[in-house]
């Protein structure tokens, strides 16, 4: 997508986020799971809300939600297409968002 962002975990007293990174204008937030069901999105959204409330300095104007998985369940694929979330695995994209 043209951004250079260092990615790693973010561990805070109120939340643990598997995938987190920021640059000047973008924040990447997400979860990693071997077998990812649709409710993994709820975990990402909950973590994002905690950041917005408790650590707004950890966010940027553009938010990119990502899920890194080996197996994306069909209900997850359906939901991410509606919500614009990026699903990827080691060998490529499963669902890539249209844009930020």
Contacts of 13 (CB under 8 A, 6+ apart): none
Q: pLDDT for 18-30, tens place per residue?
A: 999 999 899 999 9
Indicate the pLDDT class of residue 47, thresholds 50, 70 and 90.
very high
Asked whether 36 and 72 are in contact (CB, 8 A), the reply is yes
Contacts of 44 (CB under 8 A, 6+ apart): 29, 30, 31, 65, 67, 85
Indicate the pLDDT class of residue 100, thresholds 50, 70 and 90.
low
**Separation of alpha carbons 82 and 16, rounded Å:** 25
| Region 33-53 average pLDDT | 95
**53-88 b/e (C-beta count within 10 Å ≥ 16 → b):** eeeeebebeeebbbbbbeebbeebeebbeeeebbbb
* Structural domains for the chain: 8-95 (3.40.1350.10)
């Amino acid at each position: 997508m043209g951004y250079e962002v260092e990615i790693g975990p973010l561990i805070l007293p109120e939340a643990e986020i598997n995938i987190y990174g920021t640059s000047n204008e973008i924040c990447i937030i997400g979860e990693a799971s071997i077998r990812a069901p649709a409710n993994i999105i709820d975990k990402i959204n909950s973590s994002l809300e905690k950041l917005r409330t408790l650590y707004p300095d950890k966010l940027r104007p553009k938010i990119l939600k990502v899920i890194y998985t080996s197996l994306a369940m069909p209900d997850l694929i359906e939901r991410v297409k509606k919500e614009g979330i990026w699903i990827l695995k080691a060998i490529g994209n499963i669902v890539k968002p249209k844009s930020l």
